[in-house]
Amino acid sequence: MRSMCSILGVLLVVLACDVEARTWTSQAGSKIDADFVKAEDGNVWLKASDGKMLMVSFNALVADDQAHVRTLCKEMQEKAAAAAAAADAEAVRVKAELRAAVQAKWKPGQVASYVTADETRASYHVYIPASFDPDKPPPLVYAFSPSGNGRGQLNSMMPSAEKAGWIVVGCDKIKNGMEEGELRKEAIRIEDAIIADVQQSIPHDAKHVYLSGFSGGAMQSYRLTARRTDIKFAGVLAFGGWLGGLEYQKLAFPRGLAVAMINGDEDNNANAWVDSDKKVLKRYGWKSEYFSFPGGHAMAPPEVIDKGMEWILNQPLPK
């Protein structure tokens, strides 16, 4: 017998304080007054009045004592089942409260606008997909616009985000022309403020965080991967954008990201940089895929965005 309690299909551990002292009798006729401590591995553990622990074989006890141990096993099984049921019910209650609180704040299927609490007072917009489940946080993508219109960039990605079940964060105020000097410092402060807000308050899959943007917003995304190497971004969705030219090709990019380059087939400027940008990023172990659609320098239609998001989500994560 491996465990005495296996007779009842349970493993029993009962503290002495829960059981009254009893006179235990062996089949050889010896007796001892002791508290029951536990039963396991075919043995019964008893605590004598002097505090000594004694171990006796279950099979060595008289039938009445064996029956008593079985009763204790059954009682413990019932107590354990009741405690487990109560714990499960409490876990369900807590989870339901959390889900209700999260869904009340973020309103799945809707766009909500926020302002960071720091001095930048940076505005950003959040779209939570209707399928949002706080128990299974979804991927998240930051979206940048060349004109600083984060809401507009979010709107262009929203149909695909809803279909894929992604969160989109549209970042305002960061725009073309903020590459140098004080404007660059301001852009960095805004980026960091929004990222800090999002990381702390929006439930999302931290292993699947992406950057995206159209034109200069795509360039902004590339630069952000090189600047915030403390964050393990998973990849970039670059719409009609490139690294930014020869100077920006010299940046030290993190290793192992994925990039979906999504350009109109008549977007001559963006397409002119595809091959050279791919070569630069390949040195850093980036996986890249090119997607095109009929048109010029414009955001891709939803069906093409769908393909880019599907592809990038299936790429290996950076190590």
Does residue 195 carry a pLDDT above 70? yes
Range 166-192 average pLDDT? 96
pLDDT (0 to 100) of residue 122: 94
- How high is the pLDDT of residue 144? 98
Least confident of 6-10, 18-22, 88-92, 283-287: 6-10
- 1 band by pLDDT with thresholds 50, 70 and 90: very low
- Asked whether the predicted pLDDT for residue 191 surpasses 90, the reply is yes
Across all residues in the chain, what is the average pLDDT? 90
* Distance in angstroms (rounded) separating the CA atoms of residues 103 and 55: 55
| Contact by Cβ (8 Å): 221, 284 | no
- Report whether pLDDT(3) > 80: no
Residue 196 above 70 pLDDT? Answer: yes
With cut-offs at 50, 70 and 90, classify the pLDDT of residue 9: very low
Give the pLDDT band (50/70/90) at residue 135: confident
pLDDT, residue 102, reads 75
Instruction: Determine what percent of the chain is predicted with pLDDT higher than 90.
Output: 76
Q: Supply the pLDDT for residue 19.
A: 53
Instruction: Give the pLDDT band of residue 13 (cuts 50, 70, 90).
Output: very low
pLDDT of residue 153: 97
| 77 band by pLDDT with thresholds 50, 70 and 90 | confident
pLDDT reported for residue 100: 84
The reported pLDDT for the residue numbered 20 is 63
CATH class of 4-103: mainly beta
Average the pLDDT over 219-244 and give the result. 97
Choosing among 3.30.70.20, 3.40.640.10, 3.40.50.2300, 3.40.50.1820, the CATH entry for 107-313 is 3.40.50.1820
Domain boundaries, the chain: 4-103, 107-313
Structure confidence at residue 12 (pLDDT): 37
Predicted pLDDT of residue 14: 36
* Of residues 112, 102, 89, the one with CA closest to residue 133: 102
Residue percentage of the chain with pLDDT more than 70: 94
